Chains A and B, each alone.
Chain A
């Protein structure tokens, strides 16, 4: 069974640009969550999608947005990039309800110059 995949693995952008990250969950998993990891703040929850609907959102500005497609694949978009957006962005999937284990992808390393 294939794991969670994320593309691209590495990305370099400049301030003011926008970026789109992609996540493909494990087959059969309908929930996709996104997390940001930085050395200072650690891992922080961005949002969760389930059946194409945003179910929960963390405390991030509106520049961070996402969506989920009918095949459960998810994309995350960050507009007007700032230097502080440099981070490892991790995506996780689980089968359905909160009792299920979350599985993480390898992450996308975003560097903003």
Chain B
């Protein structure tokens, strides 16, 4: 059974700082890994999708890496802004013919002006 853990559970940083969010998973037989952002009471916004054959993906100030063999992914946010404040969720896509996303509990990020 796939299990996904995100560390830290919460993070508070001053504006302008670079930061790293961590995600680990127990079963390395994955199709892909997706990072999402969730604002309070809202749905999920997809940030980055990394296929199992890829090592990293970049979008603007965001960079996500994947090390499938060690069961780890990191989301790097450069030059953080107050608007980046949200919960960041890591989701691992696995299961073969029974494909589904397994989510971590998320990291609550607060960027202080």
- A-side interface residues toward B, CB under 8 Å? 4, 6, 33, 35, 42-45, 48, 55-56, 58, 88, 90, 92, 98-99, 101-107, 109
Contact = CB atoms under 8 A, between A and B. Distances in A.
> Is the interface on chain B under 10, 10 to 19, 20 to 34, or 35 or more residues?
20 to 34
B99 A56 contact: yes
Contacts of B93: 98, 102
Contacts of A45: 100-102
Interface of B: 31-32, 34, 36, 41-46, 49, 51, 89, 91, 93, 95, 97-106
Contacts of B42: 106-107
| Closest 4 pairs (CB-CB, A-B) | A43-B103, A104-B44, A98-B99, A106-B43
Nearest to B48: A101
Contact of B43 (A33, A42, A90): A90
A101 B46 contact: yes
21 contacts: A6-B43, A35-B103, A42-B104, A42-B106, A43-B89, A43-B103, A44-B103, A45-B100, A56-B98, A56-B99, A90-B43, A98-B31, A98-B93, A99-B31, A102-B91, A102-B101, A104-B36, A104-B45, A104-B46, A105-B43, A109-B41
Given A33-B100, A33-B101, A104-B44, 18 more contacts: A35-B103, A42-B105, A43-B91, A45-B100, A48-B99, A56-B98, A56-B99, A90-B43, A92-B44, A92-B101, A99-B31, A99-B51, A101-B49, A102-B46, A103-B46, A104-B36, A104-B45, A109-B41
